[in-house]
Amino acid sequence: MTNSLATRSLNHTCRIITALSIANTPLVVAGDIRGSVSAQATYFFSEAETAAEWQANGSLSADIELYQQIADNVSLTIRPFVRIDHQNEDRTHADVREFIITTNGDSWEFGGGLGQVFWGVTESRNPVDVINQIDNLESVDGSDKLGQLMLTFKWFNDYGDFELFALPHFRERSYIGSDGRPFPGFSINRNATQFESTDGNKHVDAAIRWSRSFDSWDLGLHYFSGTARDPALIPVSATELAPRYQQMQQTGVDALGIYGDLNVKAELIHRRGDEITDHAEAVTGLEYTMVGALSPLQENELLPEQWCTGESRNPITGLLCNDRLDIGLVLEYLWDERGEDASQPFQNDMLAGLRLAFNDERSSDALIGIIRDLDHGSTTFSLEASTRLFESFRLSTELRAFSGTSDDPFLRSLADEDFLRFELSYFF
Amino acid sequence: MKSTMKLKSKTALLSLLLATSTLVMAATPEEQGLAIAMEADSRDQGFVDSSANMKMTLRNRAGKESIRNVRVKTLEVNGDGDKSLSIFDEPADVKGTASLTWSHSDKPDEQWLYLPALKRVKRISSKNKSGPFMGSEFAFEDIGSQEVDKYEYKYLRDESIDGADTFVIERFPVDKNSGYTKQVVWIEKERYIALKIDFYDRKDSLLKTLSTSDFSQYLDKHWRPATMEMINHQSGKSTTLEFQDYQFKTGLSDSDFEKNALKRLR
């Protein structure tokens, strides 16, 4: 009740602000502010073997997007991000995710500034997604990315969408140090960072992409020439590694086919460079969705009637009686031609996953995944779930666990880094 | 091409049916049902494009409400299904999310979802007809473009409801993935608008009733309801849609209904 009143008065205030700005500046057409503020609590199940002498952590973050239309078909988007972390000093950081001016016509779009670009179709890993540097401090799955300085031109016609990118400034990857968690097992000395190019982080990278939708398929092709976002890690002392950012040429394809409830996905890249062995990487798989998967239980009267008719709060019967529940089965294979010499952990791995969409008024969802390394026998388990609270809040949880990692060079040190995280976000 | 031919032959049949009432009497209930559906469809042709603000109120059995606000835009496509855009403004955690649908009369619809936090446009399966739209009592197929070819028809009877003379027709979804075996539709004779629809589930028992009200006429032609209420008889839940700011012929074009336009939406 209080919440809806607050929203209403906020709306009222916004309307007054909009009215005022229209009165004062003739060019202003529309503006908008949206975003979220979040509180996060994380618990690590084991004590760390490193300098991090803590298991519980708290953290606050804000992710706000300001949008202003500055003329017909010209807009400015500014999206700052900030996190303050209690235990992980490294994780206290800020970034400008976007600061970009965009203008467009019916068949073209031009953009300049800090931007975010996502390419990809698969669930476990996106080898084709090469434009932005990942924000390593935010998440272990690389889904958060740093703003990338870019000039983009897009041209849309009957043959598909053509996109050109010039990327004049490179941003280095950040790493969690030995007093932070989850600690990747190696200390990175960023003061010793090396670049293959003599231009360093000023090397102008370039990329081109074509994409098109067909009846049942969405296809994309890209070529990237410039600094690889993922560095080689070079030993600089007995205990420290230095990132070395190499030059690469990458050609890739991504494809998504939709056949009823079955999605077929594939990402394939070929990468080469003076310091990089010519090689291919791929992620390919299937996702099959069972719409209203449990509805036959009720239709065929397999459940006791009182389970589903009463106002029962029992979560088990509640789940079984949810005839709106969609269950998705995800299966992916991850491959790197270099095998044991791969510079990334997923050289011969399988993902098996389960996606749940509850289709309730709270838009609850869950994703459970297990990635198994078929060479090293290591297993990564993850569970992510979320639900809406009080109209404008979202509560989410994340559980990650690692096992059998002793033979895996990339995951070895994560054996004691299993964690459970809760996050409450307020959206506006 | 094929679909145009089909449409032409149906139009010929329709004019024949409407030409003489004796023929209407003689036609089979299936032909009569189809003729009524085609007349309703043809009376709404020529809107070119439309947009409106939709407020959804979801009510559970205990009467607890939750609200969604969605802006909907539609582009009329001649000879095929319409294109539509939905932009979500509330609840706040889905603000900026948008969906684009190209409906087709002779092949599966194409559908994309824009996820603003990831700047990601995701192609999604359109087969999920029976799933609920945003957790409401409206299924995707209830709010999608209602093409004549998506059903088979049968005229049942004339009936008067709330003082309005109506045709009562049954329609049977052609799509095997529909959540319904049949729908019974009350179409007002004067304006050819659906006042009420009963939805029957796969067990052929009454699942939901949709009632429409507060109609206004736009461009001297197109009737649109300001209120639609869907009651689920089996779960006791209901959803009310309230439409505001209906606008027609606003100058929307094909390029507004392309997937690359999703990222620019506000």
Q: What is the 3-state secondary structure (H, E, C) of chain A?
A: CHHHHHHHHHHHHHHHHHHHHHHHCCCCCEEEEEEEEEEEEEEECCCCCCCCCCCEEEEEEEEEEEEEEEECCEEEEEEEEEEEECCCHHHCEEEEEEEEEEEECCCEEEEEEEECCCCCCCCCCCCCCCCCCECCCCCCCCCCECCEEEEEEEEEECCEEEEEEEECCCCCCCCCCCCCCCCCCCEECHHHCEECCCCHHHCCEEEEEEEEECCCEEEEEEEEEEECCCCEEEECCCCEEEEEECEEEEEEEEEEEEECCEEEEEEEEEEECCCCCCEEEEEEEEEEEECCCCHHHHHCCCCCHHHHHCCCCCHHHHHHCCCCCEEEEEEEEEEECCHHHCCCCCCEEEEEEEEEECCCCCCCEEEEEEEEECCCCCEEEEEEEEEEECCCEEEEEEEEEEECCCCCCCCHHHCCCCEEEEEEEEEC
How far apart CA B42 and CA A117 sit, in angstroms, is: 44
Q: What pLDDT does A165 receive?
A: 98
Q: What pLDDT does A225 receive?
A: 97
Enumerate domains of chain A plus CATH numbers.
2-290+325-427 (2.40.160.10)
- Residue owning tokens 């002498």: A53
> Considering only CB atoms, which chain A residues are within 8 Å of B119?
116-118
Task: Give the confidence band of B167 by pLDDT, cuts at 50, 70, 90.
Answer: very high
Q: Tell me the average pLDDT across A422-427.
A: 97
Whether residue A8 has pLDDT greater than 60: no
Task: Give the confidence band of A313 by pLDDT, cuts at 50, 70, 90.
Answer: low
Chain A interface includes B63 (CB < 8 A): no
Q: Tell me the average pLDDT across A266-271.
A: 98
Q: Which carries the bigger pLDDT value, residue A142 or residue A19?
A: A142
Please name the residues between 208 and 247 in chain A that touch chain B, using a CB distance below 8 Å. 213, 215-216, 218
Would you list the DSSP string of B21-35? Answer: HHHHHHS-HHHHHHH
pLDDT, one tens digit per residue, over A63-75 is: 999 999 999 899 9
Give me the residues paired with residue A112 across strands.
A101, A151
Q: What pLDDT does B101 receive?
A: 92
> Considering only CB atoms, which chain A residues are within 8 Å of B125?
258, 260-261, 263, 289
Reported ipTM: the value is 0.84
Lowest mean pLDDT of A288-292, B22-26, B61-65, B212-216, name the range: B22-26
CA angle B143, B146, B152 (to 5 degrees): 125
Task: Give the confidence band of B59 by pLDDT, cuts at 50, 70, 90.
Answer: very high
Contact A116 B264 (CB under 8 A): no
Q: What pLDDT does B5 receive?
A: 41
pLDDT, one tens digit per residue, over B127-138 is: 778 888 888 999
The CA R_g of chain B, rounded to the nearest whole Å, is 19
Chain B interface includes A26 (CB < 8 A): no
Whether residue A76 has pLDDT greater than 80: yes
How far apart CA A18 and CA B80 sit, in angstroms, is: 40
Q: Tell me the average pLDDT across A278-302.
A: 89
Min distance A414 CA to chain B CA atoms (Å)? 27
Chain A interface includes B157 (CB < 8 A): no
DSSP structure class, residue B153: E
Q: What pLDDT does B125 receive?
A: 84
Please name the residues between 293 and 312 in chain A that touch chain B, using a CB distance below 8 Å. 299, 311
Q: Tell me the average pLDDT across A254-276.
A: 95
| Dihedral of alpha carbons B196, B202, B207, B208, sign | negative
Q: Tell me the average pLDDT across A62-91.
A: 93
Contact B131 A292 (CB under 8 A): yes
Length of chain B: 266
Give this prediction's pTM.
0.85
Q: Is B111 helix (H, G, I), strand (E, B) or coil?
A: strand
Whether residue B2 has pLDDT greater than 80: no
How far apart CA A337 and CA A331 sit, in angstroms, is: 20
> Considering only CB atoms, which chain B residues are within 8 Å of A428?
92
Chain B interface includes A396 (CB < 8 A): no
Whether residue A24 has pLDDT greater than 60: no
Q: What pLDDT does B117 receive?
A: 86
Q: What pLDDT does A312 receive?
A: 60
Lowest mean pLDDT of A1-10, A260-269, A396-405, B119-128, name the range: A1-10
Mean confidence (pLDDT) of chain B? 87
Of B60, B179, B258, the CB nearest to A156: B258
Give me the residues paired with residue A410 across strands.
none
Chain B interface includes A288 (CB < 8 A): no
pLDDT, one tens digit per residue, over B66-120 is: 999 999 999 999 888 899 999 999 999 999 999 999 988 778 888 999 999 888 9
- Residue A69 carries which side chain, given as an amino acid letter? Q
Whether residue B23 has pLDDT greater than 60: no
Chain B interface includes A251 (CB < 8 A): no
Q: What pLDDT does A102 receive?
A: 96
Structural contact between residues A51 and A94, judged by C-beta atoms closer than 8 angstroms: no
Task: Give the confidence band of A399 by pLDDT, cuts at 50, 70, 90.
Answer: very high
Contact A289 B128 (CB under 8 A): yes
Whether residue B203 has pLDDT greater than 90: no
Task: Give the confidence band of A310 by pLDDT, cuts at 50, 70, 90.
Answer: low
Q: Tell me the average pLDDT across B243-256.
A: 93
